[in-house]
Amino acid sequence: MIRPITTEKAVRLIELNNTLTIEIDRKDTKDKIKKEFEETFNVKVHSINTLIHGNKKMAYIRLNKNNPAIDIATKLGMI
C-alpha cells in the first residue's frame, strides 16, 4: 500500500459502503493487496476493485460487515 485517498468521494464510500480507497503500486495484484491488508489490520476483506487512472492505480477495498471501515480510516489518519 502506498497511501490512503482522502477525497470527499472516498469519505462518503467509507460511511455508506464500508469501503476504503487507497493508492497502490501498479504491479500489485488483488490477491496480494487482500492478503497484505488482512494481515496488517486484522480484518476480513469482502471484495477489491482496482482502477488505473492516469499513472496511478487505486484499490477500492470493501470490508466485511463485522469490520467497520471507519475504524481503519481513523488508524490511517483519513478522518
59 vs 79: which has the higher pLDDT? 59
Mean pLDDT computed over every residue of the chain: 93
For residue 46, give every residue at least 6 positions away whose Cβ sits within 8 Å of its Cβ, in sequence order, or none. 18, 62, 63, 64, 65
Residues 7, 73 contacting (CB under 8 angstroms):
no
| Burial (0-12, 13-18, 19+ Cβ within 10 Å), 21 | buried
Q: What pLDDT does 1 receive?
A: 60
Q: What pLDDT does 20 receive?
A: 96
CA pseudo-torsion sign 37, 32, 46, 12: positive
* Domain count along the chain: 1
Instruction: Tell me the per-residue pLDDT of 51-77, one tens digit each, with 9 for 90 and over.
Output: 999 999 999 999 999 999 999 999 988
Residues 40, 67 contacting (CB under 8 angstroms):
no
Instruction: Tell me the per-residue pLDDT of 17-44, one tens digit each, with 9 for 90 and over.
Output: 999 999 999 999 999 999 999 999 999 9
Q: Write the CATH number for 42.
A: 3.30.70.330
